[in-house]
Amino acid sequence: MKKLVVVALMIGSVGWADEVLAQKPPLLPEKDVAALSNELSGETAKRNLEGIARFHRQRGSRGFHEAAELVAERLRAYGLSDVAILQFPADGKIFYGTQRSRPAWDAEFAELWEIKEVKEAKGVKENDASANWQPARRIASYGAEPIVLAEDSETADVTTELIDVGEGTKEGDYPGKDVKGKIVLVGAQPGAVQELAVGKFRAAGIVSYAQNQKTAWWGEDENLIRWGHLETFSANKTFAFMVSLKTARGLRERLAHEEKIRLHAVVKAGQHAGNYEVVTATIPGADPKLKEEEIAFSCHLDHQRPGANDNASGCATILEVARTLQKLISQEEKTSAEQPPHLLVNQGRLSRPARTIRFIFPPEIEGTMALLNAKPEFAKRIKAVAHMDMVGGGPETKAVFHVTRGPMSLPSFVHDVAWAFAEFVNEESYKFAATGKAEYPFVAPEGSKEPLRAEYSAFTMGSDHDMYQDSSFGIPAIYLNDWPDRYIHTNFDTAANIDPTKLKRAAFIGAASGYFLANFSVYDVPPTDGAIITGRLLRTAPLMQRLPETTPDDFGVLPVNTIRYEHGILNSIDAFAPGMGHELSTDWAKTIDDLVGIRASGPEARGSGKVIFRRISQPRGPLAVFGYNYFAEHAKVAGVAMPKLLSYEGLWGAGEEYAYEVLNFANGKRNAQEIRDAVSAEYGPVPLEIVEEYLRALEKIAVVEQVK
């Protein structure tokens, strides 16, 4: 049976497929695609990226504010409407949904010096021991490279010895080492050793050579300095400097040879009450009613300097989308006003879309949480998001470009729309690379000529798209992202590695998708159905590969939940063209029924598996956000032990992902068994008891309730 079901998955409402095949480029009239292709500039995007990358853009900091002013100034210069820098108080106490606001953090000065004893210093009195110590070598300077000071460092002026404690994350790293009042040299992130090194063993500060995220190139380049963090809400305030592996190896070797190393650390920095700042602007829609609905472009404007790919690239790219759409739309209106309609040349112009297009530049996750919670009207108006986080990585970064789908808890056709445009860029850019000729090569004059080779990927977490797609907001978000990037979160994430051609291509995929959705009406349903069929075929291939991996008990769970998901994708069209999605979905159900004689129903729930859970409307947002874990904090207070689900390793996903989706699936209709099945289809089989235990824990902290 299972094979037949999978075959049925591949069949769509084929009646419309002919029109789809005849269309090239997809979904939009060719003149619109040509207008976008001609106007979008990878160079303009890169110039703006270079501007943003000059600022050290920590949440609530002066550097972030300067970047926000730059973006707002550009938006005004480009002629956008409603340009504003929204401010949301961040003082460490105010909550935005599940996000406890983190106070702003700024640094004025920070230097780390090695000092050496000078035996015969001139003019030094014999009894003045400290004056014999002179600065010998500057190890780190915030002024030169702000990345060297870990975020949330506090003011200090310390002269003391350096002690090597290995990773520094476990008690076993410290025996026999007198670290009290000293600076510890650690391999882990400062925040991960803070409680132990500073809290328990009373170290004065930290020097860390933590490496960036794991990829094949991890630890290979010993010159990289990684961006570091302390725990924002730790009671053990301290400071931490970040150094390269090369610097750390030099220090460790000398310490291993019993040499004493004395350091002088000076830090002027600290947390203070401030604001999350979110830049926003619009292109108002033309339809009197539909203009109340919005299609949003999102990025995150924060991160360390230079932070070129992560994420000046996403912000500069949506800024380029803003410039391009605004220009093409206003040109159309200028021309229409001046000339009689029969003289209109339609090239290089776009008509104003029915829905409003919005642009959002927040600090990552916490800024989006502040916006969506403090201004619920935004969450209400936004129908779909195109979120860009790392979209410019050139060959040096080793990046693969992804068009990432949403979670299975929120089926939506918008991902197939984005993929239709991405596939078009894949084909055209490959044709150009292979033959030197293509109608739409999407090549920037200063950029590369490599083909894009974008991948259509299953949902991955880790940026603002998680906030939008959380079930308390339920807004589908197209996620365009590079991975891996061997320079992520290091001082080498520079503008030099950014490829203007890639920026132009990401801008096109985003702009075309956003503009198409902003205009979406019943007339767009047939070609969209075609895009969904393509997407379904691509989703079905991995499903067929995964089937043999699953357990006999879960024989039917995978296909049944996949069919439900595909129904959800068709139904999601209703939000844009009421009734149309439902019609497609009903037709497709009939097709499946005719072919294989089954309906998409899962195994019967038994016993406690029958209990239905519903998410409570507040607080909104995922339970683990930025620098704050709502679940962990509240579970501690309620005396709830850590549920096993949080450390569960599934076939295709792990704890955090299961937890995110179990909560999202708890919609007041599914019982525990159905939630378990849905999440098993997405990330691999998980025992019902483990899912139940987590749901009970959520119930105890008043995040879900039982439906009686």
Please say whether the beta carbons of 701 and 98 come within 8 A.
no
Whole-angstrom distance, CA of residue 233 vs CA of residue 100:
10
Instruction: Calculate ∠ Cα 111-116-122, nearest 5°.
Output: 110
The answer to whether 310 contacts Zn ion (rule: CB under 5 A) is yes
Q: How far is the CB of 675 from Zn ion (least distance, A)?
A: 30
Q: How far is the CB of 311 from Zn ion (least distance, A)?
A: 4
314/411 with CB nearer Zn ion: 314
Subset of residues 396 to 425 that bind Zn ion, contact rule: CB under 5 A: none
In the complex, the smallest distance separating the C-beta of residue 621 from Zn ion, rounded to whole angstroms, is: 18
Specify the stretch interacting with Zn ion by CB under 5 A; choose among 29-37, 382-390, 467-475, 512-520.
382-390
In the block, which residue shows the tokens 């460490």? 92
Choose between 198 and 480: whose C-beta lies nearer to Zn ion: 480
- Of 199-207, 304-312, 580-588, 620-628, which part binds Zn ion (CB under 5 A)? 304-312
Closest CB 439 distance from Zn ion, rounded Å:
33
Burial label, 233 (beta-carbon count in 10 A; 0-12, 13-18, 19+): middle
**Is the CB of 153 or the CB of 311 nearer to Zn ion?**
311
* Span from 153-161, 248-256, 384-392, 600-608 in contact with Zn ion (CB under 5 A): 384-392
The distance of closest approach from Cβ of residue 302 to Zn ion in the complex, given in angstroms and rounded to an integer, is 9
The per-residue DSSP string of 583-642 comes to HHHHHHHHHHHHHH---S--PPP-GGGG-EEEE-SSS-S-SB-SS-BHHHHHHHHHTPPP
DSSP 643: P
In the complex, minimum distance from the CB of residue 466 to Zn ion, in angstroms, rounded to a whole number: 12
Cα–Cα distance for residue pair 68/63, rounded to 1 Å = 9
Buried b (16+ CB within 10 A) or exposed e, 373-393: bbeeebbebbbbbbbbbbbbb
CB-nearer residue toward Zn ion: 311 or 540: 311
How far is Cα of residue 307 from the mean position of the Cα atoms in its chain?
A: 14
Cβ nearer to Zn ion, comparing 173 with 389: 389
Cβ(520)–Cβ(386) below 8 Å: no
Interface segment toward Zn ion; rule CB under 5 A; list 120-128, 152-160, 310-318, 518-526: 310-318
Stretch that binds Zn ion, among 386-394, 538-546, 553-561, 566-574 (CB under 5 A): 386-394
DSSP state of 198: I
243 versus 312: smaller Cβ distance to Zn ion: 312
Quote helix, strand, coil % in the chain, to nearest 5. 45, 20, 35
CB atoms within 10 A of CB 16: 16
Nearer to Zn ion (CB atom), residue 140 or residue 509: 509
Those residues whose C-beta lies under 8 Å from the C-beta of residue 206, and which sit 6 or more positions away, are 150, 168, 183, 184, 186, 190, 193, 194, 197, 198, 238, 239, 240, 241
| C-beta closer to Zn ion: residue 311 or 469 | 311
CB of 276 to Zn ion, least distance (A): 16
Residue 389 in contact with Zn ion, rule: CB under 5 A: yes
The interface mask with Zn ion, positions 263-302, x = CB under 5 A, is ----------------------------------------
Distance, CA of 221 to CA of 431 (rounded, Å): 35
HEC letters along 369-418: HHHHHHCHHHHHHEEEEEEEECCCECHHHCCEEEEECCCCCCCCCHHHHH
Question: Shortest approach of Zn ion to residue 364 CB, angstroms?
Answer: 6
Say how far apart CA 147 and CA 8 lie, in whole Å: 53
- Contact segment (CB under 5 A) with Zn ion among 60-68, 93-101, 389-397, 409-417 equals 389-397
Residue 665, phi then psi, degrees to nearest 5: -75, -15
List beta partners, residue 297: 359, 386
Distance of CA 457 to the CA centre of its chain: 14
By CB under 5 A, the residues from 552 to 611 that bind Zn ion are: none
Site string for Zn ion, 457-486 (x = CB under 5 A): ------------------------------
DSSP category for residue 646: G
* Site membership for Zn ion, residue 332 (CB under 5 A): no
Taking the least distance from each CB to Zn ion, the nearer of 389 and 692 is: 389
Nearer to Zn ion, 106 or 310 (CB): 310
| Nearest to 191, CA basis, from 125, 108, 110, 102 | 102
Q: How many distinct helices (H) and strands (E) make up the chain? A: 20, 20
The least CB distance from residue 481 to Zn ion, in Å, is 8
360/678 with CB nearer Zn ion: 360
Of the pair 310, 466, the CB lying nearest Zn ion is at 310
Give the closest residue to 152 by CA, choosing from 230, 57, 89: 230
Q: Which is nearer to Zn ion, 106 or 389 (CB)?
A: 389
Q: How far is the CB of 465 from Zn ion (least distance, A)?
A: 11
Of 48, 247, 304, 311, the residue at the interface with Zn ion (CB under 5 A) is 311
Q: Residue 335 CB, nearest distance to Zn ion (Å)?
A: 39
Centre a 10 Å sphere on the Cβ of residue 141 and count the other Cβ atoms it contains: 16
Nearer to Zn ion by Cβ, of 311 and 472: the residue is 311
Q: Of 138-146, 190-198, 387-395, 516-524, which segment contacts Zn ion by CB under 5 A?
A: 387-395
- In angstroms, give the least distance from the CB of 359 to Zn ion: 17
Cα separation, 303 vs 384, whole angstroms: 25
Contact partners, residue 630, CB within 8 Å, separation at least 6? 98, 99, 100, 619, 621, 623, 624
**Does 98 interact with Zn ion (rule: CB under 5 A)?**
no
Instruction: Rank residues 389 and 657 by Cβ distance to Zn ion and give the closer one.
Output: 389
The stretch near Zn ion (CB under 5 A) out of 8-16, 269-277, 305-313, 684-692 is: 305-313
Of 331 and 460, the one with the shorter C-beta distance to Zn ion is 460
Size of the site for Zn ion (CB under 5 A): 3
Query: Which range binds Zn ion by CB under 5 A, 149-157, 283-291, 306-314, 697-705?
Result: 306-314
Return the number of other C-beta atoms located less than 10 Å from residue 669's C-beta. Answer: 11
Q: How far is the CB of 389 from Zn ion (least distance, A)?
A: 4
CA separation for the pair 558, 546 (Å, rounded): 9
Site string for Zn ion, 622-661 (x = CB under 5 A): ----------------------------------------
Cβ 506 to Zn ion shortest distance, Å = 14
Closest approach of Zn ion to the CB of residue 301, in Å: 10
**DSSP secondary structure letters along 146-161:** GGGBPBT---EEEEEE
Contact window for Zn ion (CB under 5 A) among 168-176, 303-311, 514-522, 567-575: 303-311
In which residue are the tokens 């929204």 written? 86
Q: How far is the CB of 300 from Zn ion (least distance, A)?
A: 6
Interacting residue ranges for Zn ion, rule: CB under 5 A: 310-311, 389
